[in-house]
Amino acid sequence: MSRRTFIAASTVTGAAVVAGPSLLGTGRAAAAEAPGSRVSLTVNGTRHTVTVDNRTSLLDLLREHLGLTGTKKGCDAGACGACTVLVDGRRVNGCLTLAVRLEGAEVTTIEGLAPAGNGPLHPLQQAFVDQDAFQCGYCTPGQIMSGIGCAREGHTGSPEEIREWMSGNICRCGCYVKIVRAIQQAGS
């Protein structure tokens, strides 16, 4: 096989892979062909039973099926923490968690922390406001959910400890100093 023939064959193969079912994709064509499963789970105190493509992430279930867009999609690959939610009280990356694995689970998202429209904010939400711990706000829901998990795990003893245990949550605006202060405030 000549180099030219090899490159041409590789290009065709690559296009077929991209067009086929993708772990990251949510295209209608792929979804229509994909096997689905029913899953029942509780999100912010409300029980939901949905049928989803077996490859659907918890993040996409929340955003695309349940309309809970407070949880953000950053990298969609487990590297930024923007999609952090609590599952049975533990923080997880929603983009790395398959929805079909969550039968019977209790999920808490940013929308579940305080009543919509009125009522007090969760102490960590209030601390983010008090400490001005955000700029664009895109990472903030994930930071807050992760901060709650961090506190529950008992990792808020010092700024250094908070930084270490919050290291999976990236802030492109660089608000780290204030985020740490907010978590300290809520924990004090």
Contacts with ligand FES by CB under 6 A lie at 73-76, 78-83, 93, 95, 134-140, 171-173, 175
Rank residues 76 and 111 by Cβ distance to ligand FES and give the closer one. 76
Structural contact between residues 48 and 66, judged by C-beta atoms closer than 8 angstroms = yes
Question: Residue 23 CB, nearest distance to ligand FES (Å)?
Answer: 13
Reported in sequence order, the residue ranges of 54-146 that DSSP labels E, i.e. its strands, are 84-87, 90-93, 106-108
Question: Residue 156 CB, nearest distance to ligand FES (Å)?
Answer: 19
Rank residues 15 and 129 by Cβ distance to ligand FES and give the closer one. 129
Residue 177 CA to residue 36 CA, distance in Å, equals: 44
Rank residues 41 and 134 by Cβ distance to ligand FES and give the closer one. 134
Location of structure tokens 């079912």:
21
Question: Residue 33 CB, nearest distance to ligand FES (Å)?
Answer: 25
**Secondary structure letter of residue 61 according to DSSP:** I
Question: Residue 107 CB, nearest distance to ligand FES (Å)?
Answer: 15
Say whether 93 sits in a helix, a strand or coil.
strand
Question: Residue 186 CB, nearest distance to ligand FES (Å)?
Answer: 17
Rank residues 78 and 157 by Cβ distance to ligand FES and give the closer one. 78
Residues near 86 by Cβ (< 8 Å), separated by ≥ 6?
92, 107, 108, 109, 145, 148, 149
Rank residues 138 and 187 by Cβ distance to ligand FES and give the closer one. 138
Joined tokens for residue 5: 């023939």
Residue 31 CA to residue 123 CA, distance in Å, equals: 40
